[in-house]
Amino acid sequence: MERETVLADCAWGIDLEQAEAAERDRLARLTEELGAPVALLSGEEAAMSGPSLTSVGIRRLDLGERRELLKSALLRAGTPAGEEDHAAGVFDLTVDAAEAAASDAACGTPLWQACRERARPSFTGSVQVLRPRARWDDLVLPAGQLAQLHALVACVRYRARVLDDWDFAGRSPRDPGRVALFAGPSGTGKTLAAEVLAAELDLDLVRVDLSQVVSKWVGETERNLRRVFDAAEDSAAVLLFDEADALFGRRTEVRDSHDRYANLQTGYLLQRLETFRGLAVLTTNARSALDPAFTRRLHTVVTFPYPDLATREVLWREAFPPSTPVDGLDPAALAAEDLAGGGIAAVALSAAYLAAAAHGPVTREHLRTALQWELAKSGRSSFAG
Ligand SMILES: Nc1ncnc2c1ncn2[C@@H]1O[C@H](COP(=O)(O)OP(=O)(O)OP(=O)(O)O)[C@@H](O)[C@H]1O
Ligand SMILES: [Mg+2]
């Protein structure tokens, strides 16, 4: 770098996101010695300090600015503005991306889709980006829970109207998103519901693998989480922390240094969730295990009930896709077996494979066998035995 500086008489822009923690300190020292202007770029506030460093904070555009950006890009691209409100409420585009989305729209791509494509950032390996397809019809839940889920969709879709036009943002300077907890026993449709929300909103669903995000290195977990949250904000993805109890569990009393770091991570997460601008869904089987400091910060808690007899019958009726050949399915009799939706889906799939291997339709016999296998997983046996 020193050689380049002398030969090319250049200034430097260094992206700290690419640098490991140890390298950062070395870079900081180096930049002090270079004698050339250096800009250190970081997503972290106060990533570094030093006598010769001046920190310049660059904030994200607020909702109104995003609207203006998209509107003027659309006008320049020759597309009549008017549709940009919803998209600007959700997607946080860079200037270049807004220009590109506007010209895609001018060529006939629907604006929402254009913004979604242009906003997509590259997530790192600790997350799984899903393009969900599940629909409301796939979800069997009581009316109250469905109403809560519909309300969550509205919270994302109508942000611009409520926060900006109706000025709820004026009451709170933050630009808050929604944090929802889906709590209920295993196999009751929590993950499926998150997929339905993302599909309904026409957004990606980003599933965070907590085991990969949590690092044994101090500070690395925060950094990993920050990247995930930032990327989700950039792309307006719905964030799914499946089986969140692992990270959100009751904050431990500090017994050793490891506990202290676990608490720091939870603290960071709580704080970041508060400022997250998108929709974050956390799921848990053990609601009681959640930290009260954390549940206070949730906007919505949806409880997923274990299905009763009548609901199980509906689940059985819908367990096979219409193109699966089925011979003499008896949903009422099957509903007598004590299985949640996840178990029912698993039995239906195993029975379908048994039928395919026998080159015929799914029969009661296949279902009985598959049922016994499924129940045996939890040490039970079937009534139909
Ligand atoms: N309420 C439901 N309505 C329709 N299908 C359901 C429902 N619950 C479960 N299923 C079926 O079971 C499958 C598994 O459900 P899902 O993964 O959403 O359960 P979960 O609550 O997330 O369970 P876990 O806590 O074990 O992660 C779904 O893909 C779906 O086929
Ligand atoms: Mg799940």
- The H-assigned helical ranges of the chain are 2-8, 21-34, 63-76, 84-90, 95-106, 111-119, 143-157, 159, 190-201, 210-213, 220-235, 245-248, 257-275, 292-295, 309-317, 331-335, 341-357, 364-377
Cα 187 to averaged position of ligand 1 atoms, centre (Å): 4
Distance CA 150, CA 154 (A): 6
Contacts with 67 (C-beta within 8 Å, 6 or more apart), sequence order: 84, 85, 88, 89, 160, 164
Give 202-239 pLDDT, tens digit per residue.
999 999 877 677 766 667 777 888 888 888 888 889 99
Give 84-116 pLDDT, tens digit per residue.
778 888 888 888 999 999 999 999 999 999 998
Cα 125 to averaged position of ligand 1 atoms, centre (Å): 25
**pLDDT computed for residue 314 by the predictor:** 97
Rounded to the nearest integer, the mean pLDDT of the chain is 84
User: Average pLDDT of 126-145?
Assistant: 91
HEC string for 356-368: HHCCCCECHHHHH
Give 324-345 pLDDT, tens digit per residue.
999 988 999 999 999 999 999 9
The answer on pLDDT for 256 being more than 70 is no
Percent of the chain with pLDDT over 90: 40
**pLDDT computed for residue 188 by the predictor:** 97
Percent of the chain with pLDDT over 70: 85
DSSP 157-191: HTHIIIIIIS-STTTSSS---EEEEEE-STTSSHH
Pocket lining: 343 vs ligand 1, CB cutoff 6 Å: no
Sheet holding 205-208, edge to edge: 127-130, 205-208, 238-241, 279-284, 178-183, 300-303
The answer on pLDDT for 272 being more than 60 is yes
Higher pLDDT, 256 or 344: 344
**pLDDT computed for residue 307 by the predictor:** 97
Q: Residue 13: phi, psi to the nearest 5?
A: -120, 120
Distance CA 348, CA 319 (A): 6
Largest Cα span, the chain: 84
CA-closest residue to ligand 1 atom 13:
342
- Point out the least confidently predicted range of 64-68, 152-156, 221-225, 231-235: 221-225
The answer on pLDDT for 49 being more than 90 is no
CA-closest residue to ligand 1 atom 7:
189
Give 279-325 pLDDT, tens digit per residue.
999 998 876 656 676 677 788 999 999 999 999 999 999 999 999 99
Classify domain 127-303 by CATH architecture. 3-Layer(aba) Sandwich (3.40)
What is the pTM for the complete model shown? 0.81
The answer on pLDDT for 385 being more than 50 is no
- Point out the least confidently predicted range of 17-26, 31-40, 86-95, 282-291: 17-26
Instruction: Compute the C-alpha angle 155/280/56, nearest 5°.
Output: 95
Banded pLDDT at 254 (limits 50, 70, 90): low
Pocket lining: 345 vs ligand 1, CB cutoff 6 Å: yes
Distances, alpha carbon 91 to alpha carbons 62, 83, 232, 272, 282, in Å: 11, 13, 10, 19, 21
Pocket lining: 79 vs ligand 1, CB cutoff 6 Å: no
The answer on pLDDT for 147 being more than 50 is yes
Higher pLDDT, 376 or 125: 376
Banded pLDDT at 120 (limits 50, 70, 90): confident
Pocket lining: 188 vs ligand 1, CB cutoff 6 Å: yes
Q: Where are the domains of the chain?
A: 1-58, 63-119, 127-303, 309-377
**pLDDT computed for residue 228 by the predictor:** 86
Residue 107 carries which DSSP code? T
Higher pLDDT, 346 or 34: 346
- Point out the least confidently predicted range of 43-52, 222-231, 342-351: 43-52
Q: Residue 117: phi, psi to the nearest 5?
A: -65, -45
Cβ atoms of residues 237 and 278 within 8 Å: yes
Q: Which residues of 265-278 are buried (b: 16+ CB within 10 A; e: fewer)?
A: bbebbbebbeebbb
Topology, domain 309-377: Helicase, Ruva Protein; domain 3 (1.10.8)
Cα 303 to averaged position of ligand 2 atoms, centre (Å): 13
The answer on pLDDT for 50 being more than 60 is yes
Distance CA 289, CA 307 (A): 22
Pocket lining: 141 vs ligand 1, CB cutoff 6 Å: yes
Q: Identify which of 47, 8, 1 has the alpha carbon closest to the alpha carbon of residue 24.
A: 47
Instruction: Note the ligand closest to the C-alpha atom of 306.
Output: 1
Pocket lining: 192 vs ligand 1, CB cutoff 6 Å: yes
Q: Which two tokens stand for residue 314?
A: 């509906």
**pLDDT computed for residue 292 by the predictor:** 75
226 CB neighbour count, 10 Å cutoff: 15
- Point out the least confidently predicted range of 20-29, 277-286, 352-361: 20-29
Instruction: Note the ligand closest to the C-alpha atom of 187.
Output: 1
Cβ atoms of residues 38 and 30 within 8 Å: no
Q: Identify which of 306, 338, 346, 319 has the alpha carbon closest to the alpha carbon of residue 141.
A: 306
The single-letter code of the amino acid at 64 is G
**pLDDT computed for residue 372 by the predictor:** 94
Contacts with 357 (C-beta within 8 Å, 6 or more apart), sequence order: none
User: Average pLDDT of 7-14?
Assistant: 82
The answer on pLDDT for 4 being more than 50 is yes
Banded pLDDT at 161 (limits 50, 70, 90): confident
Residue 342 CA, closest ligand 1 atom number: 12
Pocket lining: 140 vs ligand 1, CB cutoff 6 Å: yes
Q: Residue 40: phi, psi to the nearest 5?
A: -95, 125
User: Average pLDDT of 135-147?
Assistant: 96
The answer on pLDDT for 135 being more than 80 is yes
Q: Work out whether strand 127-130 and strand 205-208 pair parallel, antiparallel, or are unpaired.
A: antiparallel
Q: Residue 181: phi, psi to the nearest 5?
A: -110, 130
Cα 187 to averaged position of ligand 2 atoms, centre (Å): 7
